[in-house]
Amino acid sequence: MTVSRQFKGSHPILQEFVLRCKNFADLLYDEVLILDRDYNVIMANQALLHNKGWAADEVAGRRCHEVSHGSSEPCQSPNTPCPLVEALASGSRSRVTHIHRDKQGKECFEDIAASPISDENGNVVGIIELMRDITEEVELRKALEQRNADLATLNSIIVAGGKGLTEEKLLTYALDQILENTGMDAGWILLREENSRSLRCIKRLGVSEEFIKAILSLPTDKTLCGLAATKGQVAMVDNLSQDPRVTHPTITHEGLRAFMCVPLRADSKLLGSISVAGRDPASPQASRLQQLVAIGDQLGIIVANVRLNSSLRQYAHELEEARRRREQSASVVSHELKGVLAVLSGYTQLLRKRLESQLPQADLGKGLEIINAQTNRLNRLVDDMRDVSAIESGRLTLVKARCDAVGLSRDVIQGQQALTQKHILLLDSSEEHVEGEWDCDRIRQVIDNLVNNAIKYSPNGGEVKVSIERRKDEVLVSVKDQGLGIAQKELRHLFHPYARVHKEIKGLGLGLFICSGIIKSHGGRVWVESQEGKGSTFYFTLPLR
Ligand code: ADP
């Protein structure tokens, strides 16, 4: 307990108060200061001297604002109301939190409760202040508030993830939230291209397009955000513009200083990276980096879910389409069957009647021809249905032998040309023979089907060209026509069973599916290029070895 030299001259009531509480005050952990009306320190307890590291004579006889704020004037201001002034003015208790500095200049928070000491007439003769260092509490509260804000950010991103947003919208929202939470000025999210090491920027905020272009122009292992996206490395830099690893002038000229970058990760799979940066010199804090890492991990999982959902939706849509086509096809097939059977039964009855009658039999041949054609149609239908089910169940068997793609194409062209005069069928091959080990009947079936389609879907005639080109390990066969062509949006489903585009022209929608099944089971590829109204080219390859 330190009692100042002003003690003697102070108000007797104040003196009596000091004497009564001095022993008790030294027992307290809280700091106690007794002041007269002129802000003079009349008494300071042990806890105060000890905590502040002051010697008794540094405090005794000085004014409170000199002691705690190092200022010659009372420290009343709108931001730091002085509890002493308030208690003197109001005659009642006052409580505030002040920011003080200890002898090392470290900022500390003080909870100050000032109570007036009054005489028997209610006149305030002095003030007793109880002070408690609440720096730890304040820091804990701040950390807790930050943690809550972090959790709120994370939560809002998780909630957004469940709202069925597109990947781009979700990441844009997340970046907004992250910048708000970290207080950074700029940010960008890079995503890895599927099945490749290259990156694309899905969203940038607060940085120029040139800056992002410069980053993307560099190899991924030469940028911090590239390393985060491809190697999972985390980066935290005080001054990005002066970091020795950053050499591209466009990147340094952007003027970014504090910088953090973390991977966007779904379990062990790296999807990309999130970068945030600030233009003022404040260093990013390690705790902010941890939060960003947590966001990167959560956001990665959400993005993976969004992707999964969208492929599930796509899959469901395709299943629905397939179901719809199958339903349609069932009616098309049964209609086709009924048609054939009606003709067959009509002509058989007709022939029977003719045979039973005594009429001349000269035109029986025509009827038999029709019966024969219908039987062939029926056979083809049955063959197609059998092929479809074999392909769908992966049971298509191939009988491989040496065959020649040029020879097979020539045969098909000759056969099909005999059936049309509106079309000119051409063969284009620089070699007489291009041979491989394939199922000859099946490959003939494919070429026949493609040439037949080229004719069928060129109702105004035109040229149909079959080209054969030997490549390194494969032969490329194409069938090009000048017919109706196919709209872009239809191309994706064209090789699915029962896919039909030109419904005005008769067909079952099985030919291309069967062609594709045959080519794929040979280890080849099949695709189409087409422009509506301009014609189509169907391609397939077959391995030569
Ligand atoms: P189908 O000809 O019996 O309908 P395909 O499976 O052979 O069955 O063909 C599926 C659909 O693809 C056809 O209905 C047609 O609309 C379209 N198509 C096929 N080949 C061509 C082509 N050369 N030109 C334009 N459309 C075609």
Tell me: the pLDDT tens digits for 221-261?
999 999 999 999 999 998 888 888 888 888 888 889 999 99
SS3 163: coil
Is the C-beta atom of 126 inside 6 A of ligand 1? no
Query: Where are the CATH 1.10.287.130 domain residues in the chain?
Result: 313-392
Cα of 412 vs centre of ligand 1, distance in Å, is: 18
With a 6 Å cutoff on the Cβ, whether 484 touches ligand 1 is yes
Give the pLDDT confidence score for residue 408 in this predicted structure.
97
Percentage, residues of the chain above pLDDT 90: 46
pLDDT at 84: 84
**High-pLDDT (> 70) share of the chain, %:** 95
List all residues 6 or more positions away from 394 whose beta carbon is below 8 Å from its beta carbon: none
pTM: 0.56
**161 pLDDT band (50/70/90 cuts)?**
confident
The helix (H) or strand (E) run that includes residue 458 is none
Q: Is 501 in the pocket of ligand 1 (CB under 6 A)?
A: yes
Residue 438: C-alpha distances to residues 152, 162, 389, 531, 544 (Å): 63, 51, 21, 31, 9
What pLDDT is recorded for position 540? 98
Residues of the chain with CATH 3.30.565.10: 401-543
Residue 456 burial class via C-beta count within 10 angstroms: exposed 0-12, middle 13-18, buried 19 and up: middle
Was domain 2-133 assigned CATH 3.40.50.300? no
Instruction: For ligand 1, atom 17, name the residue with the nearest CA.
Output: 501
Q: Find residue 426's DSSP bridge partners.
A: 465
Instruction: Say which residue, 97 or 523, is predicted with more confidence.
Output: 523
Ligand 1 pocket: which of 332, 384, 500 to mutate (most atoms within 8 A of CB): 500
Q: Whose CA is nearest to atom 23 of ligand 1?
A: 454
Task: Cite the residue boundaries of each domain of the chain with CATH code 3.30.450.40.
Answer: 140-303
479-490: buried (b, 16+ CB within 10 Å) or exposed (e) per residue?
Answer: bbbbbbbbeeee
- The distance from CA 372 to its chain's CA centroid, rounded to whole angstroms, is 60
Give residue 2's pLDDT: 65
Picking from 195, 258, 194, the residue whose alpha carbon sits closest to that of residue 224 is 258
Superfamily of domain 140-303: GAF domain (3.30.450.40)
CATH 3.30.565.10 fits 401-543, yes or no: yes
Residue 57 has pLDDT above 80, yes or no: no
**pLDDT value of residue 103:** 66
Q: Is 235 helix (H, G, I), strand (E, B) or coil?
A: strand
Q: Which residues are bridge partners to 269 per DSSP?
A: 266
Domain 313-392 architecture: Orthogonal Bundle (1.10)
Q: Burial, 178: exposed, middle or buried (Cβ in 10 Å; 0-12, 13-18, 19+)?
A: buried
Residue 544: its pLDDT value, please? 95
Mean pLDDT value of segment 526-544: 96
Q: 3-class SS at 237? A: strand
Mean pLDDT of the chain: 88
Separation of CA 240 from chain center: 26
One-letter identity of residue 529: E
Q: How many CB atoms lie within 10 A of CB 468?
A: 22
In this prediction, residues 377-402 reach a mean pLDDT of 90
